[in-house]
Amino acid sequence: MVALPGSRGRRVRRPSAREAGTALLFVLPFLLLFAVFRFGPAIAGVVLGFTDYTIGGETGFVGLENFRRLVDDPTFWSALRVTAVFTVLSVPLSMLASLGMAMLTRRAFRGAKLFRSIFFLPVVTSLVLAGVVFTWVFAEGGPWSRAMGAIGLPAGSWLADSVLVIPALVLVSVWSRFGYGMLILLARMQDIPAELEEAALTDGASAWQRFRYVTLPQLRPALFFVAIIETTVSFQVFDMIYVMTGGGPVRSSYSLVYLLYDQGFKYFDLGYASAVGVALFVMTIIVALIQRLTLGREE
Amino acid sequence: MRVRKGLSAVAVALVAALAATGCGGSDSGGSGKTTVTMWTYPVIFDEAKHRAHWDETIKAFQAANPDIEVKTEIFPWANRDQALATAIAGNKGPDVVYLIPDQLPKYARNIEPVDKYLDEATKSDLHENVVQSVSIDGKMMGAPILTSASTPICNKKVFAAVGETTYPTSWNDLLTLAPKFKAKGYDITAYVGDAKQTLNQTFYPLLWQAGGDVFSPDGKSVAFNSDAGKKALGFVKQLVDGGYVDKSLITAVPPIEQTRIAQNKVGCMWSTPVAEVEKFWGKENIQVVPHFTDTRQIGYGTVGSLSMLRNAKDKEAAGKWLAFATNAEQTKKYDLASGFFSPRKSTGPLFADDPVLGEQEKQVGASTVGPLHEKARDVQGVLSPEIQAALLGKKSVEQALDDAAKAAAPLLG
């Protein structure tokens, strides 16, 4: 974990057994629910990845067969590539948008709260609904293609283009997600002692220098959190793709979770679908660890 | 000490709560009655009417079977497989469920064949192709209650605007009319290539019309890359390349109101149900035409049936219920209320006076439900993107179908 500024060096009193017991009592319901509805199914999912489980059939242990099948499955590699490209594009963009909007709305100017609420609105908007609207926005002859045409770029539908479909989906994803990151960063910004900026100002630091050397380092823990959340969400992208492109054109937007969904709920090959889920989990953990080593390291 | 006691109390309460929720079964409940649960979907669009139909049917059934209680639940069409598969996996599935042939192979291992619950008179009253449509390995996997025919439908308004009075009945007709429609700013038809769309309603009818099939007769390999398959895909590509159809529908399906179909810019459709276009075209502007012909005149249609799940608590009771719910009298009522057609010979035509449904009803015999193969859906999963690739010009027709066949081979073992 990353220590919050000011917490380092503070003596922490160890709770008594009674206090710990009381605390545990309060945590217990959540712990039980977590174990039953999250941890249990996750473990079951991993176990299923080693079986040939399908609805109503005999279930047998197949060892690493499903994972071997994954390695040989071109659809898996194509879905992995789509997911990776989507994540690489959407996470930084979403973080940049979150940071930019947080910077713009951090000051207490007239209407700041209204703007924050407006920017947060897409987060609470159904992705399915947003998908329907953006399908129209990106359609041939829709507002986006007209705007592209007006500035001399190709005016076709981005969703029908195997190269541009991912950028189009990334734009929708950033639109729907940046408000969440903005709120996290904003909360952290409010916590940065004003004296730090004032001192930098007194020393003649420019606005960029104050941002680069005062604000940004202070935001590191929050940025780490946002990066982890955004990466996880991007790895799990599905509903928006399902509504907007159905994984097309020609599987150009067919993500790993889409593959998992199809295998599990369309073809009922739940053992293989679980193997896809395990692969996705392992990748998410690896990327989170890399982020932990870079963004999340303690100063 | 107090904390420990408190913890024990919480644990006991939680165990009790879990036990209570785990005891929510749906059988006799000590009243001596057996309960049959049935899941169905909005076959009758108006939910109140649909509910009323089943309430009335249950009442009539219970008059003869007072010891059997029937509970029906009407779920939305969307994600129905997801809900049903999850329920079956959790042993919480219904006793009886409404299924169509496309679903039967995937659930086959969970279905109790219904042959022994239907009497011989019923079986011989059902149309031969209907029985075949719900049979796997010679066993009936459901008791048919309705049939449909997804015939092509044409928009009279569009034809009038183009100045055409004859409607197409073959691929040749479509190709002949296409330039005239294009010149006037209309599309002769539309091809929906989105991967979520079942090929049973889009590409397969063309494949069958060209004389081809999806699988080889023994089901061990695919056959869609035959000459007939190439001809069918070539036909769609001709429409796309000629600019005779809306290219955007190849890759995504927006809500129908955003399409040229709803904007009265498309002449004929073979994959869109009447109910979907009726409010945009007006029923009086819908012209039903027979399934298109190339070398064969054939199209897609479905058969709705009530299937019993293997885990049904009381199979005898469930069997009595589904036999009653699908008898000639109930079937007729259900089909008249839902606008579907009868799977039985004895009911005769139900919509002879209806200019739209009556014409579609005539096509039931020329309709097929698609392949009853365990891997039918998986094969669609590999074929759909390849069809898109061919239509978008990324691959040749031959290459796309051969690549799909290669991808399908491991699925079929």
- Identify the DSSP state of B96: E
**How far from the centroid of its chain's Cα atoms is residue A50's Cα?**
28
Q: Which of B88, B197, B385 lies nearest to residue A55, judging by beta carbons? A: B88
Per-residue pLDDT at A102 exceeds 50: yes
Would the pLDDT of B279 be above 90?
yes
Chain A closest-CA separation from residue B59 CA (Å): 33
pLDDT at position B121 is: 95
Confidence of residue A2 (pLDDT cuts 50, 70, 90): very low
Nearest CA in chain B to A74: B407
Report the pLDDT value the prediction gives residue A144, as an integer from 0 to 100: 92
Judge: B4–A245 Cβ closer than 8 Å, yes or no: no
- Among B29-38, B121-130, B331-340, the least confident range: B29-38
Residue A5: pLDDT band (50, 70, 90) is very low
* pLDDT tens by residue, A151-180: 988 788 899 889 999 999 999 999 999 999
Name the residue facing B109 among A56, A244, A265 (closest C-beta).
A56
CA of B332, closest CA in chain A: separation in Å?
32
Output the CA torsion sign for B123, B126, B132, B135: negative
- Cβ of B195 and A28 within 8 Å? no
Contacts of B373 in chain A (CB under 8 A): none
Measured CA to CA, the distance from residue B88 to residue B99 in angstroms comes to 14
pLDDT, residue B18, reads 35
Read off the pLDDT of each residue in B285-302 and give the average, rounded to a whole number: 96
pLDDT tens per residue, range B220-241: 999 999 999 999 999 999 999 9
Residue B377 and residue A267: Cβ atoms within 8 Å? yes
Interface test with A, best of B3, B21, B82, B107 (most A CBs within 10 A): B3
pTM of the model: 0.84
CB atoms within 10 A of CB B238: 16
Q: Which residue of A has its CA nearest to B195?
A: A246
Chain B residues in contact with chain A using a Cβ-Cβ cutoff of 8 Å: 3-4, 6-7, 10, 14, 79, 81-82, 85, 88-89, 106-107, 109-110, 193-197, 247-248, 250-255, 258, 310, 377-378, 381-382, 385-386, 388-389, 392, 394, 407
Q: Number of A:B CB contacts under 8 A?
A: 105
ipTM of the complex: 0.80
Can you tell me the distance from the alpha carbon of B21 to that of A152, in angstroms, rounded to the nearest whole number?
Answer: 63
Confidence band, pLDDT 50/70/90 cuts, at residue B89:
confident
Measured in angstroms, the CA of B89 and the nearest CA of chain A are apart by 6
Judged against a pLDDT cut of 90, whether residue A117 lies above it is answered with no
pLDDT at A1: 40
Neighbours of B49 (CB within 10 A): 11
**Among A56-60, B28-32, B343-347, B381-385, where is mean pLDDT lowest?**
B28-32
pLDDT given for residue B320 in this prediction = 97
| Residue in B14, B255, B381 closest to A32 by CB | B14
* Share above pLDDT 90 across residues of chain A, in percent, rounded to a whole number: 58
- CB-CB neighbours of A99 under 10 Å: 23
Q: Mean pLDDT throughout B155-182? A: 96
Question: CA dist A50 to A47, A62, B82, Å?
Answer: 6, 6, 22
Cα–Cα distance, A269 to A52 (Å, whole number): 7
Confidence grade of residue A10 (pLDDT, cut at 50, 70, 90): low
Minimal C-alpha gap between B109 and chain A (Å)? 6
